[in-house]
């Protein structure tokens, strides 16, 4: 496995509206051999050397608001705390965009309320975060679900007040020049030491509430137009009116299609 290069080069994308700094040549890395079986025994899990850290509680914070500005989620005790802003869906958006990647996030549900939140992969596909501890057969509404596509294989949810962890191997859908999906994406996810999704396939997003469709901003519209052309996009952490805490959030690119997204002209919110 080649190490993730720190060399930056600038690509002009889509009518010269935006700049995208990428970290290496535009070619696929070899995909890792063997089954995806991350270590989730002891938290926090250290990021591997070739990972890109998005939030570590020690000063690294690579997220912006849905309008592209500073986030208003507070940092408390080294954790990001989701908070409702001027609108209901006050999600935050990674400034690092990627195509295929392993994604790691640790989270803590509040002891009151249902703790509704989620990981929005590329803004289109939600891995559910919600208090499902102690429930029977899991459903599409429960933690571990790829919302709208597949319920979890098992109920792996821990109780509120206990740190939990997602590890996801994500392969983005591929699109043609017109932006149509020509090859579905796939996802394998582990939650708290148990596999909850196994090679789940997904195509066009199914929820009208995802960030590119609900509470959308010019900043996100521009990202979506780029994403349809490149299959690269950000990780969103979802706000759903519950003070869910996140820590130790990182991605490990599986190809050379990752880098900082920098708008050439920052859109107005």
How does pLDDT run across 159-203, given as a tens digit for each residue? Answer: 999 999 999 999 999 999 999 999 999 999 999 999 999 999 999
pLDDT at 13: 33
Q: Tell me the CA distances in angstroms from 230 to 13, 215, 237, one per residue in order.
A: 9, 23, 22
Nearest to 191 by CA among 106, 254, 120, 108: 106
Q: Judge if pTM exceeds 0.95.
A: no
Look at 17-21, 137-141, 240-244 and tell me which has the smallest mean pLDDT: 17-21
Q: What is the mean pLDDT of residues 20-31?
A: 41
pLDDT at 9: 35
pLDDT at 18: 38
Structure confidence by residue, pLDDT tens digits, 81-139: 998 766 678 999 999 999 999 999 999 999 887 889 999 999 999 999 999 999 999 99
Say whether pLDDT at 225 is over 50.
yes
Confidence of residue 29 (pLDDT cuts 50, 70, 90): very low
pLDDT at 36: 95
Q: What is the mean pLDDT of residues 215-221?
A: 95
**Is the distance from CB of 140 to CB of 147 less than 8 angstroms?**
yes
Strands in 159-264 per DSSP E: 164-171, 174-175, 181-183, 185-191, 194-202, 235-237, 245-253, 259-263
Dihedral in degrees, nearest 10, Cα atoms 220, 94, 24, 256: -90
Q: Check residues 33 and 18 and name the one with the higher pLDDT.
A: 33
pLDDT at 86: 62
Structure confidence by residue, pLDDT tens digits, 33-86: 468 999 999 999 999 999 999 999 999 999 999 999 999 999 999 999 998 766
Provide the token pair at 116: 């509704």
The CA distance from 43 to 187, in Å, is 23
pLDDT at 8: 35
Decide which of 2.40.50.140, 2.60.120.560, 3.30.300.30, 3.50.50.60 is the CATH code for 56-263: 2.60.120.560
Task: Please measure the distance between the N-terminal and C-terminal CA atoms of the chain and give it in whole angstroms.
Answer: 40
């Amino acid at each position: 496995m080649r190490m993730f290069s720190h060399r930056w080069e600038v690509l002009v994308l889509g009518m010269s509206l935006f700049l995208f700094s990428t970290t290496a040549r535009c070619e696929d890395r070899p995909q890792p051999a063997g089954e995806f079986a991350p270590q989730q025994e002891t938290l926090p899990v250290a990021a591997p050397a070739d990972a890109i850290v998005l939030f570590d509680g020690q000063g690294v914070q690579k997220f912006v608001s849905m309008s592209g500005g500073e986030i208003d989620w507070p940092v408390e005790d080294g954790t990001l705390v989701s908070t409702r802003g001027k609108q209901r869906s006050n999600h935050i958006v990674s400034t690092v965009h990627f195509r295929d990647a392993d994604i790691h996030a640790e989270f803590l549900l509040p002891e009151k309320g249902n703790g509704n939140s989620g990981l929005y992969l590329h803004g289109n596909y939600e891995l559910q975060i919600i208090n499902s501890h102690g429930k029977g057969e899991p459903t599409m509404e429960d933690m571990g679900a790829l919302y709208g596509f597949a319920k979890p294989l098992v109920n792996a949810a821990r109780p509120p007040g206990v740190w939990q962890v997602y590890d996801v191997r994500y392969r983005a859908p591929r699109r043609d020049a017109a932006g149509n999906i020509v090859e579905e994406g796939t996802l394998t996810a582990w939650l708290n030491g148990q596999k909850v999704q196994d090679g789940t396939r997904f195509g066009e997003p199914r929820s009208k509430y995802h960030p590119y469709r609900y509470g959308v901003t010019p900043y996100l519209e521009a990202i979506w137009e780029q994403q349809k052309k490149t299959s690269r996009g950000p990780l969103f952490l979802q706000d759903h009116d519950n003070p869910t805490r996140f820590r130790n959030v990182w991605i490990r690119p599986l190809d050379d299609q990752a880098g900082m997204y920098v708008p050439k002209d920052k859109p107005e919110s």
